[in-house]
Structure 1
C-alpha cells in the first residue's frame, strides 16, 4: 500500500452542533484514518471553543473553510434545513462530503446531491452510524440462513423523551420534527434488512398546531410481502430496537441504533420451545463510519457500483420519508386534547 493511501483524510467540520461536539469530532480526533484540520460555524464564539477543544484551526465562516486547499473532505452538522445548501457548496468546491442524517429534508434534495456527487466524482455519505455496526449483518445472516423460517413482520422503533423547549429540532423552518430526526432510523433499518422497493401502506403523525410532527408510526410493505411497522417520536421513554418475525422464530435486537462503543450486543432468538442468545463483540460504529468514509475517498472509485448503490440508498431513504409525509393522517396534539381524552377511571 502506498504512503498516500495510508495518509489520514484531512477533514473540515462545517457546523458546531451538539452531535459534533459530543460524538463525531471527539471520535474524528481519535481516529487514525482522519485528521481534523479546521472547523467553522455560524457563531464565532462557538467556533473558537470547538477549535480549542479539538486542536484545529477556526475559520471565520463556513464558506472560507471550503476554500482551504488542505481540506479534502467535510463533515456537515448544520441544521437539517441547511444540509443540502452546504453539501452542494462543498461538492462544487471539490470536497468529499459526510453529512449528518438526513441528507436533506426531502428526496428532491437527496437526488440533487447524489447527482452532483456522481458528476463531480466525489464521495457522498450520510452519517448513519448504525449502518456500520456488525450486529445488523449478523441479524441479516440469521434471516438468510432460515433461522426465523419465512419472514413476515418487522417492528422497529426509535423514540426519545421530550427535548428542551429551545431545541432546534422543534423549529419547523430548520428541518425539525420527529420524522426527520429519529424516524429516519427505523425507516433506514427496514431498507437495510428488507431490501429495495419498500412502499408505505399507511402512516400517522402526531403534530403540534404549527404542523411540526412530534411522533408517528408508519406501515411499510416489501416486494415480497413482509410488513414493517416503524415507530418514532419525541414523546416516549427511550427505545432503540427492532425485531424480525418469521413463522418459526422471532429475533430481537435492542440498542439497535446508538450502542456505545464498549457495549456487547445481545441478540435474542425466540422459538416455540427454545431461546438462544448471541453475544457479539463490541464495536465502535462511529469509528467504523469515519474509517469507511476515509477508505472510500482513498479508493477513488466514485463511479463504481458500490458508490452508486450507496447514492441510491440515500435517495431511497428520503423517498420513504416523502411517502410517509404524503400518506400520513395528521393528529393534532398540544391543545389540551390529551387531558380531555384521558380515561377518568371511574366513569
Structure 2
C-alpha cells in the first residue's frame, strides 16, 4: 500500500475545547460530516453543557479542557473559546502534541501569535486559523477574473462587515475576554485585504470607536496599502445594519460580492462584474465553506504537510490587527 492510500484509510481524531453556539452551528457539524474526521469528544467547564453538546453530536463529554487534552485518542483539537483564552489553551494543546484549528481571531495580538507559531513549529504540529470564507468558491471565481484581466489592473479593495448590536451579555462586549469589533468583524476585512492585495499590505490609518460603557471598540475603519500603490478601505462594527461585502476596483471595471464572508451552504452567491458599458451578474455555485475548511485541515494534519503556509498567514494577520490598534491610538 502506498503512502497516500495509507493516509486515505486513516481518520483524524478530533476533540473540541468549548461549546460556543457559533461552533455548534458551523464548524462542529462540518467536523462530524467529514469522512476523514472522527469527533471523539467535546469539553466544557460545565458538565451539563458538555453532555448536552455530546448527545447532539454523538461523541463523548469531558468536563474541563485539560482533561480532554490528556486523552491519547485525540490527534487534533478545534478551539472555539473566547479570544483571550486562546493563547493558554492553544499553547497547552500544542504542548500535548495536538494539531490545532482555532476559531478566529487565533490570538489577541502579534506577540501571542509569534509565541503560538513558535510552539507549533517546536511541536511539529499544524496550527490553523478558522477563516472559513477563504475556502468558498466565490473567492476563487473573483481571483480567476482578476487574473484574466476582467477589470484591468487591480487598484483598490473595499471590504465591509457589520451587523446590529448584540445582546447586552454577549462576550464580545467583554474586554477581558478579547471582545470588540476589531477582533470579531474587523479581522475578516483585514484578511480579505491580504487575500486580494497580498502579504505586503499594511495599515496606513485607522479609527476605532470605543463604547464608554463596555470599554470595547464597537466600530472601526482602516486604510491599507501595498508597496505598489494599491489601496483598500475597510469598515466593520456591531452597531450597524447588516453588511458583508467585498469589492475589487480595477483600471477597467469592478467585481463585487454581497455575502463575502458568511455565505451559507445553500446560497448561490451573485458576483457582479461591471465595466464601462457592461454590467453582468453571475450566479455562482453554492459552497460549504466550513466543510472545505475542515477537509483542508484534516488533509494537512494527516499528511503532515503545509504547516508553514498557515503559520505565515497567522503572523501577518496578527500584525495587521496590531497595526490597526497603533494607527487608531495615534489619532
Q: TM-score band, normalised by the shorter chain?
A: over 0.9
- CA deviations on 1:128-168 (whole Å, 9 max, x unpaired) are 10011121122112112211112211110110110000000
Distance 1:61 1:87 in 2: 14
Distance 2:54 2:116 in 1: 28
Quote the offset at 1:172 in angstroms: 0.3
Q: Which structure 1 segments of 5+ residues have no match?
A: 332-347
Q: What secondary structure does 1:78 align onto?
A: coil
TM-score scaled by length of structure 1: 0.91
Name the Cα RMSD after superposition.
Answer: 1.4
Quote the offset at 1:177 in angstroms: 0.1
Q: What secondary structure does 1:102 align onto?
A: coil
Matched, 1:52 2:55: yes
Moved segments of 4+, more than 6 Å: none
Matched, 1:297 2:310: no
Asked if the contact 1:207–1:330 (Cα under 8 Å) also holds between the matched residues in 2, the reply is no
Distance 2:309 2:224 in 1: 21
Q: 2:160 — aligned with what?
A: 157
Q: 1:246 to 1:4 in 2, by over 3 A?
A: closer
- CA deviations on 1:260-317 (whole Å, 9 max, x unpaired) are 111111111111111122222111000000010000011112xxxx431221111100
Q: What secondary structure does 1:2 align onto?
A: helix
Q: 1:218 — aligned with what?
A: 222
Distance 1:68 1:4 in 2: 22
Question: Which of residues 170, 173, 178 is equivalent to 2:176?
Answer: 173
Asked if the contact 1:107–1:319 (Cα under 8 Å) also holds between the matched residues in 2, the reply is yes
Question: Which of residues 87, 110, 119 is equivalent to 2:90?
Answer: 87
Question: Which has the larger Rg?
Answer: 1
User: In terms of mean alpha carbon deviation, does 111-120 or 64-73 score higher?
Assistant: 111-120
Quote the offset at 1:3 in angstroms: 4.1
1:187-198 map, 5 Å: 187-198=190-201
Asked if the contact 1:204–1:330 (Cα under 8 Å) also holds between the matched residues in 2, the reply is no
Q: 1:263 — aligned with what?
A: 267
Matched, 1:110 2:113: yes
- CA deviations on 1:6-46 (whole Å, 9 max, x unpaired) are 32211000001111222221222122121110011122221
Quote the offset at 1:329 in angstroms: 5.3
Asked if the contact 2:7–2:303 (Cα under 8 Å) also holds between the matched residues in 1, the reply is no
Q: 1:27 — aligned with what?
A: 30
User: In terms of mean alpha carbon deviation, does 131-140 or 226-235 score higher?
Assistant: 131-140
Matched, 1:123 2:123: no
Q: 2:145 — aligned with what?
A: 142
Distance 1:310 1:139 in 2: 22
Q: 1:203 — aligned with what?
A: 206
**Paired residues, what number?**
327
Quote the offset at 1:211 in angstroms: 3.1
Q: 2:315 — aligned with what?
A: 315
- CA deviations on 1:293-346 (whole Å, 9 max, x unpaired) are 000011112xxxx43122111110010000000111599xxxxxxxxxxxxxxx
Distance 2:312 2:24 in 1: 30
Question: Which of residues 224, 241, 255 is equivalent to 1:251?
Answer: 255
